[in-house]
Amino acid sequence: MTPPQRRVVELPADGRAPSMARRRVQEVVEPVAVPGMADLAALLVSELVGNAVLHATPPATLTCTCGDSHVRLEVADSSPHPPHVGAAGLTDTGGRGMLLVDALSSRWGVEVTPDGKRVWVEIDLEDAAAYDRGDVIDLTADDAVPAHREHGTA
């Protein structure tokens, strides 16, 4: 068993934050994970960080932990308000980020902290392998989220 790889990064309070988060996650995940894991993790962290930049007061902090069986991404910010899985209309230009997180992560949740909240996602190896194979979920379907997905608030 390989010891988990972990990186903690304070993110800038502007539009550079998502790209910085993607780079840091890929640096941690790519060398130790299955094909597709780094790309999937980068996509999901972009959504979490984008929400933090839009809806919270800086700073936001990213923690990326890559173990033998899964990757865990955490974004801590100052807002006490949890994200929600929205129902964006076909012509809406936003509101789909947490739908993607819900559909593509193995698990996700929110932990309330004294300074705000921490939103986390986990990606299991088998889910990353499915993503790499091109297995996709129809996000327009009423039952878009597979039944095995878990999410919650701690």
Q: Which residue has the tokens 């992560």?
A: 105
Identify each DSSP E strand in 1-154 by its residue range. Answer: 5-11, 60-66, 70-77, 107-113, 116-124, 150-153
pLDDT for res 5: 85
The label of the residue with tokens 């392998």 reads 129
Tokens at residue 80, please? 């006490």
Q: Are 109 and 154 in contact (CB under 8 A)?
A: yes
Strand partners, 63: 8, 74
30 lies in a domain?
yes
Q: Is residue 147 part of a domain?
A: no
CATH of the domain at 55: 3.30.565.10
pTM of the predicted model as reported, rounded to 2 decimal places? 0.82
Residue 151 lies in a domain: no
pLDDT for residue 63 is more than 50 = yes
Average pLDDT score over residue span 138-152: 49
Residue 85's domain comprises 5-133
pLDDT > 70 fraction of the chain, expressed in percent and rounded: 85
Write down the pLDDT at residue 52. Answer: 92
Whether residue 146 lies inside any domain: the answer is no
Asked if the structure places residue 21 within a domain, the reply is yes
Phi, psi of 85 (to 5 degrees): -80, 110
Q: 42 in a domain, yes or no?
A: yes
| Averaged pLDDT of the chain | 83
pLDDT at 115: 93
For tokens 């986390």, the residue is: 120
**Is 153 within the bounds of a domain?**
no
C-alpha distances (whole Å) from 29 to each of 66, 72, 95, 145 are 6, 10, 27, 25
Query: Is residue 80 assigned to a domain?
Result: yes
Asked if 24 contacts 41 with a C-beta cutoff of 8 angstroms, the reply is: no
Q: pLDDT: is 112 or 3 the higher one? A: 112
Instruction: Please calculate the CA angle 145-149-154 and round it to the nearest 5 degrees.
Output: 120
HEC string of 112-129? EECCEEEEEEEEEHHHHH
Number of domains in the chain: 1
Beta bridge mates, 18: none
More confident residue, 58 or 132: 58
